[in-house]
Amino acid sequence: MVIDSQKMQSLAAATAREDIAGRSLWADARRRFLRNKAALFGLLLLVFVVFFALFGNSLARWSNDEIDFAVMGQAAELGGPSLETGHYFGTDDLGRDLFARTVQGTQISLAVGIIGSAIAVVVGTLWGATAGYFGGRIDNLMMRTVDILLAIPYMFVLILLLVMYGRSITMLFAGVGLISWLEMSRIVRGQTLSLKNRDYIEAARAIGVPARTIIRRHILPNLIGVVTVFATLLVPNMILTESFISFLGLGVQEPMTSLGALISEGSGTIAYGTLWQLAFPLLFFVTTLFGFFFVGDGLRDALDPKDR
């Protein structure tokens, strides 16, 4: 009896304690992500690339449009990577510092990838969630619009846009953003359709929560998993699209550059023994893509453990 009453007292004390913090699904996902070695490695690569893009310029001794007249015209002999000249990654044929140009190219490529993906997340999620939640005629109208836009060969349109309105970064962002949300809206709509019939959505409707609030409060938070994964995997695709455009010579304008443009230049001069002009931009390009794909895979495993 004595022991029992002590137990009761300790139980009473335990119940009186302050609020217990719950462990959300996010905390669980974070734990799973941090235990995934490949994903952590990818994250490390990404952090490295981002730091390189943000702070690389303070290490560079040359700016990206400065011409080193000492090596101009003799890039193959004098323009190789060296610490003495300050051209850590060597120079291009015009004698411009490749290190500064790679930093700048990485900045552009990351920006295109992230902005394209951000447009996809905002527009695609809202579009898909609205179509999926309301269903019926609205759904049909919205998704057929997406089908029609997807049927247009976007690369062709993008090239036409760049040719008609001139090559500019804004045009490139607009073009990439215009196409990136279509796939996203389809995925989000599918997910919303399956969420819509869950009991907790029904419960919210029975309570009388307005449709817009249900989308905001219940549908969107439950979509975030899928959307994050798809967005991380979309970034490298956007970078690839931009690189392809730049490879065709339609991307950003000189003296600005992007990884795709640098790779294109490097591959053009590979016959003259200037391998570094291809190798360094390519290294950063591949590292970025690897990083995003690993992180995307890691997020997918962490966010829906049931699908593994």
Q: Is 205 in the site for another protein (CB under 8 A)?
A: yes
Taking alpha carbons only, the member of 115, 107, 61, 59 closest to residue 86 is 61
Q: What is the identity of the amino acid at 22?
A: G
Of residues 169-198, which lie at the interface with another protein (CB under 8 A)? Answer: 198
Q: Is 22 in the site for another protein (CB under 8 A)?
A: yes
- Region from 104-112, 140-148, 173-181, 214-222 binding another protein, contact rule CB under 8 A: 214-222
Sign of CA pseudo-dihedral 274, 278, 284, 286: negative
**Which of 23, 137, 306, 308 contacts another protein by CB under 8 A?**
23
Burial class of 4 by CB neighbour count within 10 A (0 to 12, 13 to 18, 19+): exposed
Contact 36, 301 (CB under 8 A): yes
In the complex, the smallest distance separating the C-beta of residue 213 from another protein, rounded to whole angstroms, is 8
**Which of 2, 21, 83, 164 contacts another protein by CB under 8 A?**
21
Size of the site for another protein (CB under 8 A): 27
- Region from 19-27, 80-88, 108-116, 284-292 binding another protein, contact rule CB under 8 A: 19-27
Distance of CA 270 to the CA centre of its chain: 30
**Which of 70, 141, 203, 270 contacts another protein by CB under 8 A?**
203
Q: Is 32 in the site for another protein (CB under 8 A)?
A: no
Taking alpha carbons only, the member of 198, 194, 187 closest to residue 300 is 187
Beta bridge partners of 96: 67
Q: Is 12 in the site for another protein (CB under 8 A)?
A: no
- Region from 75-83, 159-167, 213-221, 261-269 binding another protein, contact rule CB under 8 A: 213-221
Q: Quick one: angle between helices 220-247 and 169-196, nearest 10?
A: 150
Where on the chain is the footprint of another protein (CB under 8 A)?
A: 15-25, 198-200, 202-209, 213, 217-218, 221-222
